[in-house]
Amino acid sequence: MARELIPSKYVLEQAAKIWQRGDLHRAFLENSVCFPVMISLPSWSSKVLLTEFSAVQEAIYALNEQSKKHGFTILHSVVNHRQLGEQKIPVAVEFENEAIFLRYVRHGDEFSEFKTLAEKTLQRFSTLKNWLNRYPFKLMNFATVWFSLLAVCDYFMQHPRPDVYIRQLDIVGVDTKFIENNTAILTEILDVILPETARNLTITGLSNHGFERRYGLRYELPQIRLRILDKRLAICGLMDLTLSLLEFNQLELPINAVFITENKINGLAFPHVENALVIFRLGYAVDLLAQAQLLKNVKIYYWGDLDSHGFAILSRMRGYFPETESFLMDNKTLMKFENLWTKEPEDKTVSHELTNLTAAEQAVFQTLKTHHIRLEQERVSYSYLEISLQKQHQIAP
């Protein structure tokens, strides 16, 4: 049907697409002209003109009424039809100027606000012009808070890499939550306006305090939980310590052995060992230990669950400390407590290859994977732990 070839909303839908492309926004930013704007109309075949002549006339009439109401111009083409003779067929509509177009798409107020925001933005940060060209609607998405965002940018321009917590930023009208809730858009803007010296270009993404690390802010560092196992080495009488990663990396103690275990109670109850300490509750985050001076020239023992993840963490640990020895993760220990095995869910079993295991460890790992079994470290008896420490590490009972 001809009436379906120019449905009542066709011109509006096409005009909306032009608006959404941002053509008007870019023309304003570039001080150029994008009008008149023309929208082509669907063509009609000679057969349709003949068989649906009445509907064609109705469609043309409806389009003329829209033209009168909204002010756009209809462009025509003259067609010589064999049966109907000369016919004047609409082929396009034209919006002569910005005012007519904006009134039609009903975005006049929004575009006026965009121009105001863009002008004031470029007065303060001319380097944002290309960004505004690419993302004009992002500006409008944040219109209600845009000047607060620019206030944050002003601060970083004046105080690059400030080395304070977000809570300490003294910006009028801006609080901690505002910055934390808008780190994504702030990252986009700051990356444009700040020099490379004010950014850590190796940090990408916002996870793990990415915003703070990229722009030189302080943030809460990961915590390392440890127990000193030799009373003689207590620090001001303290043996159970939780240190920030920075503090731990700088820690110096006259030790020669470090045990790493996952389970908290295992860490708290670990027996006395001379010149040693135990670190616990790291899980896969053993990479946090990579820069610790304390671990550079000591024996390191890793005690994880006898399951696929325990061996995956062991393999990961060896990626940083190749001389790490496994502890109570052998076939003897596995078989000793066979009655305490549990099932490791098949869909949660480590499937990738572990390249940093010894042949014996690899054999146990494959057994665990094949049979989907696990022996959690807390199921190993305390007496067995004590005896193993005495036998394997020549530690006095």
**Domains with residue ranges and CATH for the chain:** 2-106 (no CATH), 109-214 (no CATH), 223-393 (3.40.1360)
CB-based contacts of 64, cutoff 8 Å, min separation 6: 74
- Read off the pLDDT of each residue in 81-104 and give the average, rounded to a whole number: 81
Give bridge partners of residue 38 from the DSSP assignment: 94
47 vs 311, which has greater pLDDT?
Answer: 311
Q: Which two tokens stand for residue 299?
A: 């024996």
Return the pLDDT at 76. 81
Report, in this order, helix, strand and coil percent for the chain, each rounded to 5. 55, 15, 30
- The count of C-alpha atoms lying within 13 angstroms of the C-alpha of 356, restricted to the half-sphere facing its C-beta, is 17
**What is the pairing mode between strands 342-343 and 373-374?**
antiparallel
- Read off the pLDDT of each residue in 75-81 and give the average, rounded to a whole number: 72
Q: How confident is the model at residue 41 (pLDDT cuts 50, 70, 90)?
A: confident
pLDDT greater than 50 at residue 3: no
- Read off the pLDDT of each residue in 207-229 and give the average, rounded to a whole number: 93
- Read off the pLDDT of each residue in 150-168 and give the average, rounded to a whole number: 96
Q: Which two tokens stand for residue 107?
A: 């975005």
How far apart CA 154 and CA 318 sit, in angstroms, is 46
- Residue located via tokens 């808070």: 145
pLDDT greater than 60 at residue 35: yes
Return the closest-CA partner of residue 328 out of 312, 305, 353: 305
How far apart CA 57 and CA 62 sit, in angstroms, is 9
- Pure H helices in the chain: 2-5, 10-21, 23-29, 46-51, 53-70, 98-105, 108-124, 129-134, 136-141, 146-158, 176-181, 183-193, 210-214, 245-250, 264-269, 308-320, 331-336, 359-371, 382-393
370 vs 82, which has greater pLDDT?
Answer: 370
- Read off the pLDDT of each residue in 162-167 and give the average, rounded to a whole number: 95
Return the pLDDT at 207. 86
Q: How confident is the model at residue 397 (pLDDT cuts 50, 70, 90)?
A: very low
pTM above 0.75, yes or no: no
CB-based contacts of 23, cutoff 8 Å, min separation 6: 34, 37
**Treating both helix axes as pointing N-terminal to C-terminal, what angle do 308-320 and 359-371 enclose, rounded to 10 degrees?**
150
Return the pLDDT at 195. 95
63 vs 186, which has greater pLDDT?
Answer: 186
Q: Which percentage of the chain shows pLDDT scores above 70? A: 90
pLDDT greater than 90 at residue 42: no
Return the pLDDT at 391. 77
Give bridge partners of residue 200 from the DSSP assignment: none
Q: Which of 181-185, 205-209, 223-227, 323-327 has the lowest mean pLDDT?
A: 205-209
pLDDT greater than 90 at residue 49: no
Q: How confident is the model at residue 395 (pLDDT cuts 50, 70, 90)?
A: low
- Read off the pLDDT of each residue in 353-373 and give the average, rounded to a whole number: 96
Mean pLDDT value across the chain? 90
**What is the pairing mode between strands 276-280 and 223-228?**
antiparallel
Return the pLDDT at 90. 83
The helix/strand/coil state of 374 is strand
- Measured from the Cβ of residue 182, the count of other Cβ atoms closer than 10 Å reads 18
Return the closest-CA partner of residue 327 out of 254, 246, 388: 388
How far apart CA 341 and CA 74 sit, in angstroms, is 81
Q: Are 344 and 372 in contact (CB under 8 A)?
A: yes
